[in-house]
Amino acid sequence: MSTENEGNAVPPAPSAPPVPVETPAASAQGAPPAGDAPTAPIPAVPGTPGAPEHESAPAGMPAYASNGAGQGADPYGQAPARGSAPEAGWPPPPATPAYADGGGAGHGGWGSAYQQPAPKPKNGRGGLVAAVLVAALVAGGVGGGIGYSLAKNDDNSTDSTTVSAPSTSGQVKRASGTVANVAANALPSTVTIEAQSTNGEGGTGTGFVFDKQGHILTNNHVVADAVDGGKLTATFPSGKKYDAEVVGHAQGYDVAVIKLKNAPSDLKPLALGDSDKVAVGDPTIAIGAPFGLSNTVTTGIISAKNRPVASSDGSASSKSSYMSALQTDASINPGNSGGPLLDSAGAVIGINSAIQSSSSGGLGGSGQSGSIGLGFAIPVNQAKYVAQQLIQTGKPVYAKIGASVSLEDGTGGAKITEQGASGSSSVEAGGPAAKAGLKPGDVITKLDDMTVDSGPTLIGAIWTHKPGDTVKLTYTRDGKTHTVDVTLGSREGDN
């Protein structure tokens, strides 16, 4: 897979402006034969940098996706192979939403080169037109000079009513909590990440300084191209660029940690907030490199909490990511992936990861949608826990109940499938679900106080917990409702 491609070269501006079009009377004499006159093609409208990487969701589709009847998903991170019976493996990649990092390399910029028009004839009225144009330019220059002189004299007169700003106006002290103040403090600790695979494919995403040892926190899908021997760099707003390496990555959580090589000693980690205390309506500030435009700052609010989101890049080998996300209307576009979502105090409350896409295609008709006000971030409390695991062991650890659940909609909850992978039992023998008495066909409707309306919702909710936590599951069987305590198990790694 590739991430949003940054750095499309922009052709230089034309060296000379187009010659003004003559009046019909002036061009009537000496005109070249029709069809032989050179033309100056109109430059194409700038296209969206990069081709679409991820499948855009049809308009109106929910943040989590159903992948068809009969396919099951294990809430600890595995899914059935495409076309196979439900397995206790990774759930098949859902259709929504797309990762917020964009597609592979594309050709942006102005689409056609400038072509100088042919010189106009110098005899007849053509020369007269040229002389008139020169005279007009000279008159314009004189008029401009007179106007500037009058304006200057008037500005110095005692009758002037204008008020000049004090000479110190450029040294405005922006109060703590303002967007400008938060951005000024956070930008120096935010990096633009360029990941490239061994075959040259790759693109751009975002990350931020996690600690003083040089660890950078980002999304798994931002660095996926560089995992197996690829090239990885991180560039600070100051322009300083560092080579980096992947320390660990978690596909299910969509979290990755990279480390700068020869990291500077003056790194300033961003402060981590408490995503559990975030409230709907709280202001948000997102930083990233949308469509390759590094160090971009956007604002919004928290639109919703605990939004169940399942996302993937849509490729056949892709493994889905699940989160109980923070939803924000701050503008998030391809290239924002891995960047920090901040609160009004400048503390990180989430990692921007995915966007809901419309079906109409994106900017410039590329088929890749931009922000429609539906962005999703991994809560920082979960991301912090995962990052610490990756730094310590290089592998993620997932909580599990040991049962495969269906991804189809309309089940009224998370339904335990009749069969697991390759015809095996959908309830792991001796696992947490089996010990709690859960059986195939049971429909889980709540986890603690959280309503569960689908398999992806259950998976995302379970992954907000740690192995060993005890949760209360409410489920229905034969029309009756039951409640049971389940102590979550664990699984290490993505495979």
Non-local (6+) Cβ contacts of 268 within 8 A are 188, 189, 209
- The C-alpha atoms of residue 140 and residue 137 are separated, in whole angstroms, by 5
Nearest Cα residue to 369 out of 53, 38, 129, 13: 53
- DSSP labels for 87-110? -SSBPPPPS-PEETT--S----B-
**In the annotation, is 215 catalytic?**
no
Q: How far apart are the first and last CA of the chain?
A: 18
Average pLDDT over residues 63-80: 39
Nearest Cα residue to 463 out of 62, 6, 20, 74: 74
**Is residue 484 pLDDT above 70, yes or no?**
yes
**Is residue 344 pLDDT above 80, yes or no?**
yes
**pLDDT reported for residue 373:** 83
The answer to whether the bond into 283 is cis (omega within 30° of 0) is no
Per-residue pLDDT tens digits for 118-131: 444 444 444 433 43
**In the annotation, is 337 catalytic?**
yes
- DSSP labels for 292-337? G--SEEEEEEEEEEEEEEEE----TT---EEEEEEEE-S---TT-T
312, 324, 331, 337: the active-site residue = 337
Average pLDDT over residues 334-344: 94
AA letter at 203? G
AA letter at 495? N
pTM of the model: 0.68
Per-residue pLDDT tens digits for 192-209: 999 999 888 888 999 999
**Is residue 31 pLDDT above 70, yes or no?**
no
**Is residue 367 pLDDT above 60, yes or no?**
no
Non-local (6+) Cβ contacts of 396 within 8 A are 248, 249, 250, 252, 253, 255, 386, 389, 390, 492, 493, 494
- Report helix, strand or coil for 209: strand
74, 101, 254, 313: the active-site residue = 254
66, 221, 369, 371: the active-site residue = 221
User: How confident is residue 171, by pLDDT bands cut at 50, 70 and 90?
Assistant: low
Q: Mean pLDDT score of the chain, rounded to an integer?
A: 74
**In the annotation, is 254 catalytic?**
yes
Per-residue pLDDT tens digits for 249-292: 999 999 999 999 999 999 999 999 999 999 999 999 999 998 88
AA letter at 161? T
Nearest Cα residue to 368 out of 97, 110, 109: 97
Question: What separation in angstroms does the CA of 469 have from each of 104, 413, 448, 465, 490?
Answer: 40, 22, 12, 7, 10
